[in-house]
Amino acid sequence: MKNRIITISRQFGSGGRTVGKEVAAKLGIPCYDNELIEKVAEESGLAKEYVEEHGEYTTHGSWLANVLAAGRTYNGISNQDYLWITQRKIIMELAQKGPCVIVGRCADYILRDIADCIKVYVHADMDKRAERIVNLYGEREDSPMKRLKDKDKRRAAYYQFYTEMEWGNANNYDVALDSGTLGIEKCVEIIADIYKSKPIVE
């Protein structure tokens, strides 16, 4: 039997990370978010800060500019490619250990054929997300709207480059939840109910 895994893809500022942690706590299963970053950093030898920033985002600019300036090594891979390979390996290992929640990092794509996945996309409108990031991270030099657009653009570019799929396209997920309308608690409740009621995949 394949382990049942919940993958949480999310817009920046939507609260998807919080949703993932609370779903895991409600179901009594592990949630891999910061823990995944630490595991990848340890195995890859890359700095935790690098893994956190480059494990699901392209660098500044378009994805094409990023690829062209990626600094390929003699064997044809960049640091970001190496990070992707390591991250993919660890996500697959975690899914094989048992049921869990994995936040971000293309886990929905990586596990699509090897786990009983419930693929969730958490989103919210710009105003709600802007308010949330200011409350969480404070004011910055850039406006909240600019920060949101930049993060979303870079996350979408990363996802498209490594999966050849469109990040945020509802067809790629089992359920899409508007956390701004539903609230965090209702999102958690819905995901937990799906996890408990979904037929087992052999």
What is the rounded distance in angstroms from the CA atom of residue 24 to the CA atom of residue 6?
9
- Supply the pLDDT for residue 131: 92
Share of the chain above pLDDT 70, in %: 89
- Supply the pLDDT for residue 161: 87
- Supply the pLDDT for residue 137: 82
What is the rounded distance in angstroms from the CA atom of residue 11 to the CA atom of residue 151?
8
Question: Residue 111: which residues within 8 A CB-CB, separation 6 or more?
Answer: 5, 7, 91, 92, 95, 102, 117
- Supply the pLDDT for residue 141: 74
**What domains are defined for the chain?**
4-197 (3.40.50.300)
117-174 pLDDT, tens per residue? 999 999 999 999 999 999 988 877 789 999 999 999 989 988 998 899 999 999 999 9
- Supply the pLDDT for residue 129: 94
Q: Measure the CA dihedral 64/40/47/76, to 10°.
A: -40
pTM here is 0.88
Q: Do 95 and 109 touch, CB atoms closer than 8 A?
A: no
